[in-house]
């Protein structure tokens, strides 16, 4: 019995970090040092620290894409925080499966709402901060100790009052018309794949009715034929492909190359995907 | 006894990751989240995620250079996978000291053959995949759960049948002539050191016979005097050095600077190293 | 009792790594593989591997900024080592709170002196090296095994004799005049904030006497009005800000943008901060 209870206590709990701190500074290691000083047994996992500086939307997308794969009880600390040192709140969010902590600027909310958001609290209990804290690095001085204490079993309710309100952040919603989707690019990944704001299942429902049709991608007054494929390996070379992405959104890619470079499309750009009746018609159109 | 057996069970096993996923996306963290959901006690070590996109040869070189230093039983998951989603196989390789998992495109083989390759199996047992898996991210949906189950003690034989065949990947072999070596650059490291395809010991055997001779490096119709040194600290400034590299291959470097930049030589480039009788002769030649 | 003693033995000890090895090679993973082969229970934390190649001053700054946050007993392995393979010493430093290991080129000393330097030893005991060690990668072959054995409890005194002397590295000292500070930029962080050589408390003492005064920043014959703020959120846009940095030094920043890019100031550049009596006077001066 003693051993079993000991085993349970030693059960590692995970703190996962997502920031725009980059890899060349002492910032990320400071978070880890503070966390391990308070809870030496916690497992720390890096999601990414290469979020574009100040880009909350990108961070929210990454967090929403990866959070479902983490074990029950994982605590996410996500810091993209242009308002650091101001009176913007720091919040703790309890979801159905995980905890989320970070600045109150909306970046935590899409991931929490995806699994079911239960409660949002303000981080106010100063006894869980570092003894002397700066106003320029609240990630290290307030948030890191808070998540470390949370991982040690301090109850969620102890960190502060329920937030009267909190910031939301909404991903751009695509418009589905019978023969057209209007959407936006929300992320460009390492390979230059363009993650769109079009969720996979609605796209497949829209597309499956007319599988013999051809697709045309347009953006910034330029256009290209677009091939739907289930995976890159099935695509033609030398033209954009659209395929179901691993994040739950449709992606525009290029076989063993960067769609972002070939198409010169970037996150934030509007795109339109049109359906045309026959492939003959498509070629004619594009040839114009 | 109970405690000892518990200790043994808790013995951490290592999963080491090598990919071309980069650091700015959710890809690497997805692998880790899946692995830790299945085996919370495993130790995950990053080798690199900055392999050039789709560059199997570079990944194979890195894996071969680092694998011998990892403890017995380490499981390597290496994903550089332009064929993702196609019918290319996923394989598990048992070597004399380690396990290797990844796409069947040759990248695992040089490291496994270095230590002694025992058996190659196809990853087929769907019960070890994530319940719903995509065709665009088999690293997360098939390979990560497989290595996690392997680290928990599921027998190697359970993951699928012995592979009838598998892809090989061969490093370029240098040609040794009495007064000349023809070789290739296989990697340029962070410092701009050029790792050649020339193994250290054969080079030293070739070179030691004529230690008073001078060396000339040529590539792409240009040439430079080349100084052999046992370590950078012994080299002259302002000229290329050749020295035994820590990966087991000869490296061409530059003292506190980038040989790659100074020489404008890149991975894939052919190089020739010539021996000339006297240093006088060398200077005359180079002066032409 | 047996369990308690077991728990104590399992207490994780931390080895924290700081290098200029970059993320694209096998270098960092080699250190980790060697360490985990010797001590599978140690926790390895990356500080950064993106120190500019050969830049000891940057590494010393990062180490000094982050070390105080790590738990008692943490072992730092810091390798920025242009002299690798030469007869420069490798040293182990015992501070009041931590251990530090690396090449004898000064990079460890500011962090160790900050907490109180107790003793410096030369790493000489070859029985703690890898059996066959190269001269090009002493980090992997000598230092990594040494810190791993140290983390397993081998006494500090076992690794070699007390160093008769060791290299120092001194951060540039600012000059405080009544109406002027002359200083240097020692680091540019991920956001383009310029960390100066001006410690926070002396600056605040200098500045608080004349809070109604205005500041002018000059560097390389250019100058700008400079606003003191306690945190970015309180700053004006479109001009440089000076604020207390989280590393203990004053930082010059720009609201949600890169001061380094806007001002074209880099690490190593000299800067002057002047106090002028009235804001009116400031504007006049700057208008000239």
Structural domain boundaries in chain B: 2-159, 175-287
What is the pLDDT confidence band of residue A19, given thresholds at 50, 70 and 90?
very high
Are the Cβ atoms of B243 and C136 closer than 8 angstroms? yes
Strands C43-48 and A117-122 come out as unpaired
Q: Is the pLDDT of residue A285 over 90?
A: no
3-state secondary structure of B177: strand
Q: Which CATH number fits domain A175-287: 2.40.30.90, 3.40.50.720, 3.30.1200.10, 3.40.50.1100?
A: 2.40.30.90
| B77/B32 Cα distance (integer angstroms) | 11
Q: Is the pLDDT of residue C5 over 80?
A: no
- Per CB-CB distance under 8 Å, the chain B contacts of A65 are 26, 30
What is the pLDDT confidence band of residue B175, given thresholds at 50, 70 and 90?
very high
DSSP-derived letter for residue B254 is B
Query: In the predicted model, what is the mean pLDDT of chain A?
Result: 89
What pLDDT does residue C10 have?
45
Q: Return the residue matching tokens 């894409």.
A: A65
Find the farthest-apart pair of alpha carbons in chain A and give their distance in angstroms, rounded: 78
Q: Is the pLDDT of residue C284 over 70?
A: no
Q: Is the pLDDT of residue A234 over 90?
A: no
Please state the rounded mean pLDDT for residues B1-28: 74
Please state the rounded mean pLDDT for residues C223-234: 89
Q: What distance in Å separates residue A77's CA from the closest CA in chain C?
A: 17
Nearest 10 degrees: Cα torsion B261, B264, B267, B273: -110
Q: How far is CA A51 from CA A54, A77, C48, in A?
A: 8, 14, 17
Which residue in chain B is spatially nearest to A243 when comparing CA positions? B136
Question: Alpha helix (H) ranges present in chain B?
Answer: 2-10, 27-38, 56-66, 109-115, 138, 144-151, 200-208, 259-263, 279-287
What is the pLDDT confidence band of residue C288, given thresholds at 50, 70 and 90?
very low
Nearest to B191 among C23, C41, C53 (CB): C53
Q: Is 1.10.760.10 the CATH classification of the domain at B2-159?
A: no
Q: Is the pLDDT of residue A218 over 90?
A: yes
| A36/A40 Cα distance (integer angstroms) | 4
Using the Cβ of A3 and the Cβ atoms of chain B, whether some distance falls under 8 Å is answered with yes
Interface test with C, best of A12, A24, A148 (most C CBs within 10 A): A24
Interface test with A, best of C24, C107, C231, C250 (most A CBs within 10 A): C231
Are the Cβ atoms of A29 and C50 closer than 8 angstroms? no
Query: In the predicted model, what is the mean pLDDT of chain B?
Result: 89
Q: Which residues contact B17 (CB under 8 A, 6 or more apart)?
A: B28, B31, B32, B44, B45, B46, B47, B49, B76, B77, B78, B79
What pLDDT does residue C184 have?
95
Please state the rounded mean pLDDT for residues A127-131: 94
Please state the rounded mean pLDDT for residues A69-93: 92
Using the Cβ of A129 and the Cβ atoms of chain C, whether some distance falls under 8 Å is answered with no
Closest CA to A110 of A243, A202, A199: A199
Over residues B237-271, the pLDDT tens digits come to 889 999 999 989 999 999 889 999 999 999 999 99
What pLDDT does residue B23 have?
92
| B228/B251 Cα distance (integer angstroms) | 10
What is the pLDDT confidence band of residue A134, given thresholds at 50, 70 and 90?
confident
What pLDDT does residue A278 have?
61
Q: How far is CA A20 from CA A101, A147, A168, in A?
A: 15, 18, 19
3-state secondary structure of C94: strand
Are the Cβ atoms of B48 and C25 closer than 8 angstroms? yes
Residue ranges of B 59-118 with Cβ closer than 8 A to chain C: 62, 65-66, 69-71, 74
Chains touching B by CB (3 or more pairs below 8 Å): A, C
- Per CB-CB distance under 8 Å, the chain A contacts of B32 are 45
Please state the rounded mean pLDDT for residues C32-51: 96
What pLDDT does residue C278 have?
61
3-state secondary structure B37-97: HHCCCCEEEEEECCCCCCCHHHHHHHHHHHHHHCCCCCEEEEECCCCCCCCCCEEEEEECC
Are the Cβ atoms of A53 and C247 closer than 8 angstroms? no
Which residue in chain B is spatially nearest to C41 when comparing CA positions? B12
Q: Which residues contact C218 (CB under 8 A, 6 or more apart)?
A: C224, C271, C272, C274
Interface test with C, best of B80, B231, B243, B249 (most C CBs within 10 A): B231
Which residue in chain A is spatially nearest to B10 when comparing CA positions? A7
Q: What distance in Å separates residue C11's CA from the closest CA in chain A?
A: 8
What is the pLDDT confidence band of residue A261, given thresholds at 50, 70 and 90?
very high
| C214/C150 Cα distance (integer angstroms) | 53
Using the Cβ of C244 and the Cβ atoms of chain A, whether some distance falls under 8 Å is answered with yes
- Per CB-CB distance under 8 Å, the chain C contacts of A82 are 232-233, 256
What is the pLDDT confidence band of residue C287, given thresholds at 50, 70 and 90?
very low
Which stretch of A240-249, C1-10, C126-135 has the lowest confidence by average pLDDT?
C1-10
Over residues A151-180, the pLDDT tens digits come to 999 999 999 999 999 999 988 899 999 999
Using the Cβ of C2 and the Cβ atoms of chain B, whether some distance falls under 8 Å is answered with yes
| C253/C259 Cα distance (integer angstroms) | 5
What is the pLDDT confidence band of residue A70, given thresholds at 50, 70 and 90?
very high
SS3 content of chain C, % helix, strand, coil (to 5): 30, 30, 40
What pLDDT does residue A8 have?
47
Please state the rounded mean pLDDT for residues C26-53: 96
Query: In the predicted model, what is the mean pLDDT of chain C?
Result: 90
Over residues A85-126, the pLDDT tens digits come to 778 899 999 999 999 999 999 999 999 999 999 999 999 999
- Per CB-CB distance under 8 Å, the chain C contacts of A32 are 45
- Per CB-CB distance under 8 Å, the chain A contacts of B140 are 69, 246
3-state secondary structure of B211: coil
Q: Do the Cβ atoms of A89 and A138 come closer than 8 Å?
A: no
Are the Cβ atoms of B29 and A12 closer than 8 angstroms? no
Q: What percent of chain C is predicted at pLDDT more than 90?
A: 76
Q: Is the pLDDT of residue C145 over 90?
A: yes
| A122/A145 Cα distance (integer angstroms) | 15
DSSP-derived letter for residue B126 is G
Nearest to A244 among B20, B25, B134 (CB): B134
Please state the rounded mean pLDDT for residues C250-275: 94
Spacing of C-alpha B104 from chain mean position: 16
**Complex prediction ipTM:** 0.89
Q: What percent of chain A is predicted at pLDDT more than 70?
A: 91
DSSP-derived letter for residue A162 is B
What pLDDT does residue C163 have?
97
Which residue in chain C is spatially nearest to B74 when comparing CA positions? C33
Please state the rounded mean pLDDT for residues C253-279: 90
């Amino acid at each position: 019995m003693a051993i079993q209870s000991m085993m349970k206590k030693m059960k590692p709990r995970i703190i996962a970090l997502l920031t725009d701190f980059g890899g060349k500074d002492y910032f990320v290691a400071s978070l880890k040092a503070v966390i391990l000083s308070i809870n030496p047994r916690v497992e720390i996992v890096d999601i990414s620290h290469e979020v574009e500086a100040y880009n909350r939307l990108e961070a929210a997308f990454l967090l929403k894409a990866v959070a479902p794969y983490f074990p029950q009880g994982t605590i996410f600390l996500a810091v993209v925080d242009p308002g650091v040192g101001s009176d913007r709140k720091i919040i703790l969010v309890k979801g159905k499966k995980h905890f989320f902590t970070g600045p109150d600027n909306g970046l935590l909310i899409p991931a929490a709402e995806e699994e079911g958001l239960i409660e949002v609290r303000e981080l106010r209990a100063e006894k869980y901060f570092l003894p002397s804290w700066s106003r320029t690095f609240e990630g290290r001085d307030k948030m890191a100790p808070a998540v470390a204490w949370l991982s040690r079993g301090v109850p969620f309710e102890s960190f502060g009052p329920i937030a009267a309100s909190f910031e939301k952040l909404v991903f751009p919603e695509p418009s589905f018309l019978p023969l057209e989707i209007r959407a936006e690019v929300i992320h460009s990944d390492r390979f230059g794949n363009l993650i769109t704001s079009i969720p996979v299942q609605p796209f497949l429902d829209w597309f499956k009715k007319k599988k013999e049709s051809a697709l045309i991608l347009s953006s910034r007054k330029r256009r290209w034929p677009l091939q739907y494929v289930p995976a890159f390996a099935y695509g033609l070379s030398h033209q954009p492909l659209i395929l179901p992405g691993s994040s739950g959104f449709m992606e525009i890619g290029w076989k063993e190359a960067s769609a972002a470079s070939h198409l010169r499309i970037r996150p934030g750009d509007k795109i339109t995907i049109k359906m045309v009746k026959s492939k003959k018609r498509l070629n004619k159109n594009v040839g114009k």
